[in-house]
Amino acid sequence: MDKKLKIDKSYFSVSKSFDETETKEFWWNKTPEERLEQMEILRRINYGDKATERLQRVLEVIKKKMM
């Protein structure tokens, strides 16, 4: 996966729902390792190789105003 990843925009479609039967069936027929590998490819396409490999944790403290 060291090579530069690019999207072939002529080969994708937009869907309104993840509940489409054939899509679910396709992914359930893949092993967990294959699904994770595809997720990593999508992460690299969207965020590039320089993105951290871990999910970023964000904490925001909010002070509640007492009435």
The C-alpha torsion from 44 through 31 and 27 to 25, rounded to 10°, is: 170
pLDDT (average), residues 24-43: 90
Q: Residue 61: its pLDDT value, please? A: 83
User: How many Å apart are CA 5 and CA 3, to the nearest integer?
Assistant: 6
Q: Quick one: pLDDT band at residue 22, thresholds 50, 70, 90?
A: confident
User: How many Å apart are CA 44 and CA 9, to the nearest integer?
Assistant: 16
Q: Quick one: pLDDT band at residue 48, thresholds 50, 70, 90?
A: confident
- pLDDT tens digits for range 11-21: 777 766 666 67
Q: Quick one: pLDDT band at residue 35, thresholds 50, 70, 90?
A: very high
